[in-house]
Amino acid sequence: MRAFIIEDEPAARRILKRLLNENFPDIEILGAAGSVKAAVEWLSSHSCDIVFMDVELEDGNSFEIFRQIKIDAFVVMTTAYDNYAVKAFEVNSVDYLLKPIDLPMLSRAIQRCRDAKDHSNIDKILDALSGKPLYRERYMIRINDRIMPVNVSDIAWFESVSKSSYVMLRSGMRYIINPSLDEAEAQLNPEAFFRISRSCIIAKNSIKSIIKLSGSRLRLETEPKGELEVSRARVDDFLSWMEK
């Protein structure tokens, strides 16, 4: 089988290539792309048997690829999302790998491709996903030479300090992350997270109490123990969000 990888994270791309090379000698990796544009260009002039495709790429959502060209190959999605979208992939015979990818998951996906009689119906997936947002379910935290998965449900808040972005976990641990707060805000479920200021996004279930300050300001007592302030311009929207 000939494979093509569409993945914009270098570390994730290296892991997938290593797993394939070490465990599936009959699978030839033809190349890789990190963007919708590069993937469309390659797939327009080449053919392969299986495509490993990340959901979020550096220039947009990978489903845009299907809208631009017809992919005559088995498609295995690699994703950090484990909500309804995964079920849509499975129902329509498109397999999926939840990051971080491990060998049993990869073996299952490849075996499904070997057993399948024809390629997946991408149109049904696009219909299933239309109008429904995909919210991030986990982040990959890089600590020196290690990569640690962190579930969004374990995050108490996101904060920006000195042009770097951090996540504070409910355990009290704090880690730097790659996405900016603007990027993180766009990926999070707005029912669970709220941008209380330019430098902070908080999880609703990490708020223990709300203290009214002078000048219509609010201070939040949080778990893990901490105090965060809601910017004056966001107070009304924040209170409305808390009541939902």
- pLDDT for residue 18 is more than 50: yes
Q: Kindly state whether residues 104 and 145 are assigned to the same domain.
A: no
Q: What is the CATH number of the domain that holds 154?
A: 2.40.50.1020
Q: What is the CATH number of the domain that holds 48?
A: 3.40.50.2300
64 and 161 fall within a common domain: no
The rounded distance, in Å, linking the Cα atoms of 39 and 5 is: 9
Full-model pTM: 0.55
Q: Are residues 119 and 38 in the same domain?
A: yes
**161 and 182, same structural domain?**
yes
How far, CA to CA in Å, does 67 sit from each of 61, 88, 151?
Answer: 11, 17, 30
Whether residue 35 is predicted with pLDDT greater than 80 in this model: the reply is yes
Write out pLDDT tens, residues 60-80. 888 788 888 888 888 888 877
For residue range 209-227, list pLDDT tens digits in order. Answer: 999 988 788 999 999 999 9
Q: Assess whether 161 and 205 both reside in one domain.
A: yes
| pLDDT value for 178 | 83
Range 17-21, long-range pairs (CB < 8 A, 24+ positions): 19/101, 19/103, 19/106, 20/106
Q: Which domain holds residue 17?
A: 2-129
In terms of domains, do 112 and 146 share one? no
Of the two residues 77 and 117, the one the predictor is more confident about is 77
Dihedral sign from CA coordinates of 157, 225, 100, 31? positive
Of 129, 158, 179, which residue constitutes the final position of a domain? 129
229/150 same-domain check: yes
What is the tally of structural domains in the chain?
2
pLDDT given at position 220:
97
Residue pLDDT, tens place only, 47-65: 999 999 888 888 888 878 8
Residue after which a domain boundary falls, among 81, 98, 129: 129
Q: Do the beta carbons of residue 186 and residue 179 sit within 8 Å?
A: no
Q: Are residue 118 and residue 23 in the same domain, yes or no? A: yes
The token pair that represents 138 in the structure block: 């986990």
